[in-house]
Amino acid sequence: MRFFLRRFAFYVFTAWAAITINFFIPRLIPGDPVSALVAGMRGQITSDQIQSLTVLFGLDKHESVWMQYVDYLEQLSHGDLGISFGNFPLPVTSVLASALPWTLLLIGVTTIISFAIGTLLGIVVGWRRGSWLDGLLPVTTFLSSIPYFWLGLIAVSVVTYAGYFLPISGGYDPGLVPSWNLEFIGNAIEHGLLPAITIVVASVGGWLLSMRNMMVTVTAEDYVTVAHAKGLSERRVVMGYAARNALLPSVSGFGMALGLVVGGTFLVEYVFSYPGIGLQMLQAIARHDYPLIQGIFLVVTLAVLAANFLADIAYLALDPRTRKEG
């Protein structure tokens, strides 16, 4: 329990540090958002409008940086991330709210599937070391070494060549309105299939390789030989002794991967024009949309921290040696 509280305190501190850095970095960039917006309007804007924008962005108060920081924290505590320039006048939170579910579902589900498939294959390949299954390794390693954008484009061209049996861009058909009905959900799943398959194909090799290597290491441990000598069933030896211990390093990696899910995968979303966080991020950068960039950074940071915290707890549950006595 003490360990748990200590880790928690550590993560709270890290989150605070991340928020603070997130506040200061944009303020170190020269220029201000109003002039960026004015430049974007190409002079089609009156001085009154400039004045009202300045007030709206809170740039008229000439407060000290410290006061701005306090205001920023206060706004954050209300869940207020400011207004997106690029999607003016939408607040950043609603832009995030519309993009996040797409990314979470697509990347989250594929990360879990890829981890599960890769780890299971890794267990089998590591256990049957030296059999024909070893041939899987170069294949999956080759697939994960292909630059992702190229793999994505190949997938797109294959599908279009064969006659559009899967949609190749967007999250759903433009004619549909997002809602929780069967038609829309089916359509969304259909749109997600191609990016999902390419992600799994590209990332399964990493999980497979690390799990296989750990399996080979663990299989040589004395306790695995003892488990054999005890006459346990092969299934029990693999699951209770070999894979059980080989899984530990992968758990940390999986926690890391889950945290990064929120950030989306720029390339996936770009290649397939998928309406997730990654695509928003690219657009935000192109439009100098500082509040949105800041908001995305914040969400990604918090997600990584939360996922790491969960991985810590999972590790605590899986490996008794990490539990402190007393």
Partner 1 sequence: MSMSKPLTMKPSRSIAADAVLDIRGLCVDYGVDDNAVRAVRDVSLTLRRGEVLGLAGESGSGKSTLAYGLARLLPPPGVISAGEVIYSPPDGEPVDVLTLAPLALRAFRWAETSIVFQGAMNSLNPVHKVSTQLIDVIAAHSPGMSRRAMLDRARELLTMVGIAPDRLHAYPHQLSGGMRQRVMIGMALALEPKIVIMDEPTTALDVVMQRQILRQIVELRERFGFSVLFITHDLSLLVEFSDRIAIMYGGRIVEEAPAALLYRDALHPYSHGLLHSFPALRGPRRELAGIPGSPPDLQAMPSGCSFHPRCPRRFDPCAVDIPVLGSPADRVREARTVACWLHPAGGAID
Pick the binder of partner 1 from 158, 226, 239, 256 (CB under 8 A): 226
Q: Which two tokens stand for residue 274?
A: 């998928």
Stretch 70-129 residues interacting with partner 1 (CB under 8 A): 129
Pick the binder of partner 1 from 103, 245, 250, 280 (CB under 8 A): 245
Pick the binder of partner 1 from 113, 213, 221, 305 (CB under 8 A): 221
Q: How far is the CB of 221 from partner 1 (least distance, A)?
A: 6
Tell me how long the chain is. Answer: 326
Q: Does 222 bind partner 1 (CB under 8 A)?
A: yes
Q: Give the integer Cα–Cα distance in Å for 110 and 104.
A: 10
Q: Does 225 bind partner 1 (CB under 8 A)?
A: yes
- Scanning 51-59, 143-151, 242-250, 251-259 for contacts with partner 1 by CB under 8 A, the matching segment is 242-250
Q: Does 240 bind partner 1 (CB under 8 A)?
A: yes
Under 8 Å between Cβ of 195 and 108: no
Under 8 Å between Cβ of 41 and 68: no
Q: How far is the CB of 28 from partner 1 (least distance, A)?
A: 48
Q: Does 233 bind partner 1 (CB under 8 A)?
A: yes
Distances (CA, A) of 292 to 20, 97, 283, 302: 16, 12, 10, 15
Q: In 43-135, where does DSSP find H-type helix?
A: 47-56, 65-77, 92-103, 109-127
- Scanning 19-27, 103-111, 226-234, 263-271 for contacts with partner 1 by CB under 8 A, the matching segment is 226-234
- Scanning 7-15, 38-46, 81-89, 315-323 for contacts with partner 1 by CB under 8 A, the matching segment is 315-323
> If we measure between CA atoms, which residue out of 58, 66, 61 comes closest to residue 23?
66
Q: Does 154 bind partner 1 (CB under 8 A)?
A: no
For partner 1, the closer CB: 20 or 233: 233
